Amino acid sequence: MLFDVDGVLTDGRLWYGPKGEALKAFHALDGHGIKLLARTGIRVALLSGRSSPAVTRRAAELGIAQVLQGIEDKQGAYKALAGTLAVPLEETGYMGDDLVDLPVLRRCGFACAPPGAHARVLAAAHYVTRAQAGLGAAREACEFVLQAQGRLEAALAAVLA
């Protein structure tokens, strides 16, 4: 399962500190959802058009090894990553919010978007979350995937044990 960052794991706003550093706010709910996927053996990757030390740090906190940043050709990077991991494209999922995400959303097996995504992205999505970007949308997508696979209750029980 791949996630875009800005507009998916964040609310899409870009904040800059006094020294020009980019600041991003991530939601703990999304992080827990990503950890649920990882605990069940689903590999998670980030695929972002922008580069940010904040994304690198958040990915490390969540144990995400595949972090692709500064990617202009998301479809090319997506196909290369799937090839490297030996995962058929139709067995991958992607959550994106903007036009640059459409080539991947149209090719993956499960296309997901937050409700504030561009209209063309919403039209291409198999699932649109109720939660907004940066406020639990990724968590909702993670739980949707696990529910569809019949593994959600077992994943949640392991956390609650």
Q: Where are the domains of the chain?
A: 2-160
Distances from the Cα of 35 to the Cαs of 41, 122, 156, in angstroms?
A: 10, 26, 11
pLDDT digits (tens, 9 = 90+) for 40-85: 999 999 999 999 999 999 999 999 999 999 999 999 999 999 999 9
pLDDT digits (tens, 9 = 90+) for 104-116: 999 999 999 999 9
Give the mean pLDDT of the chain.
Answer: 95
Residue 7 makes CB contacts below 8 A (sequence gap 6+) with: 96, 97, 98, 114, 116, 117, 133
Residue 115 makes CB contacts below 8 A (sequence gap 6+) with: 122, 128, 129, 130, 132, 137
Confidence band, pLDDT 50/70/90 cuts, at residue 101: very high
Structural Rg of the chain based on CA atoms = 15
Q: Which residue has the higher pLDDT, 14 or 61?
A: 61
- Residues in the chain, total: 161
* 139 within 8 A of 114, measured Cβ to Cβ: no
CA distance linking residue 133 with residue 136, whole number of Å: 7
* 146 within 8 A of 130, measured Cβ to Cβ: no
CATH superfamily ID and name for 2-160: HAD superfamily/HAD-like (3.40.50.1000)
End-to-end CA distance of the chain: 25
Confidence band, pLDDT 50/70/90 cuts, at residue 146: very high
Q: Where are the alpha helices (DSSP H) in 5-135?
A: 28-39, 53-62, 74-85, 102-107, 119-124
Instruction: Return the pLDDT at 70.
Output: 96
Instruction: Return the pLDDT at 16.
Output: 87
Instruction: Return the pLDDT at 19.
Output: 83
Is it the case that residue 21 has pLDDT exceeding 80?
no
Is it the case that residue 145 has pLDDT exceeding 90?
yes
* 4 within 8 A of 127, measured Cβ to Cβ: no
Average pLDDT over residues 1-11: 97
Instruction: Return the pLDDT at 23.
Output: 87
